[in-house]
Chains A and B, each alone.
Chain A
């Protein structure tokens, strides 16, 4: 009777876990030498790190099905999620993606173990790590609403950008993206799912648009006191695009933006954060200060369209 030592079992389970997740991971060739990873999410849709694509819209993708072309469907810099569609592929063909690796909305806890599976054109690459920090939902500076703050500790390189981050039961928890100062962050599965679901519904990612240009202004203490504001700065309207929802609502340069739907705004980022989750068609109530006097205007959020020429 051969009995496995604890270490042998540990090693076999790690290899089995990696093998379960490998069909989810794809390699995305950026050029002849460099590649990043991506996650087969559902059907022909693959997600990867938006920033790393650097404006590419047609990439060569390698998976256990071999090499295929994929085209960009949506690129959301706010959450760093890009969605690609595999061209001419049969969704049913190729390696079976294990049910165990279905994305989960269950939150990770600090200290939990994770497995990170990416791919190069030569095959899967695997790293094991730990959840270094797990915090509440947050907004990126660009206004992206991200379901959970996730930071990992693991020894990884650039090939893992966009890789699968799974818990030790093989459920996909997040996509790996680089953070500030060399940190490793995770974009949680529910955030990715929200974007993929919007792409499936519309065929693209609709973007809210107001047509406002803003600039931050510092408020002196006396003005803050008079206006009953706590923030040191306020967002001033610097311009209104012709034909935009902001123009329809008669917003004008010099208007100072105080609140949206009752949420105090004190910076340009504040508006970005409020606008980001708005669907085109939603009506926002803007509280302004115009010529020193408070006013309220309603603006119907538009949808961003490429300028015609």
Chain B
């Protein structure tokens, strides 16, 4: 297997955007290519969870490639629900690691804010088991079920969960690319309206538009991909033995660490999938970044803040940077590349080894990626 590097990383500002999705993906792609100093990639891997329904366009890899001036560059699309961006990154990584290509552009994007919220919720909800959907299960509903089970455990209360939102909003305040440039207090979070009891509005990520891109190369660059792993679990949440730990995350982390040849103790900072605030606490423990039962305490103690022992979501996370579905997995990698190369102005953290974690569906198809300054 060849060493794989990331030579360029770019993204759009996340939020409510008026441009077409193809424009957003071109903006992110050209920024990544400019940072890499590359005119054209040999291959483009496109991630978009559901452009057919969200924006009404199909044959989407060709649509994006043609739109950004690469009609003659081979392109294909990858999809694993909300972790599609991370899956596309894996596809690009595998192409370079296997020696099939030397320069691959990976771009993920989604555009949703032009649709009414119930419609967006319904479209995202199609990644849920059909029987559970027939009982009205939406993503927030399943997350509410997970959160209720989590609250029954020692060491996690509403305060610990809410602090995740407070912290990630504080981080996003320093990120010009973030959806929310606004701090929230613990009271504002705990008193926001109930979405899926015990989950409240400010525990949930917003609906966002945006795109992110990276250039993966065989030529040595500033950041090396140390490991990458995928983990999966049953589509139906009711078929799982545990709701307070995600098998898909544990399996993905195990595979990524095995490839890297080291464990969680070497990780300096992370970007985790906090589509719902309690998921950040679950991921911290599932990946082995904190001891079981200690994620809540670590969050309250400030260990996971920008100036803490292990900064978690320096970008603001899905909660505050925003979650344009297929853009997210790539945006997490963009943030880590910027951090590792000293480009994260205003929110720069120290560290040479970073980890990203992306959840597909309700933790049915997860990815963990480990990056290292080379």
Are the chains A and B members of one assembly?
A: no
A-binding residues in B (CB < 8 A): none
B-binding residues in A (CB < 8 A): none
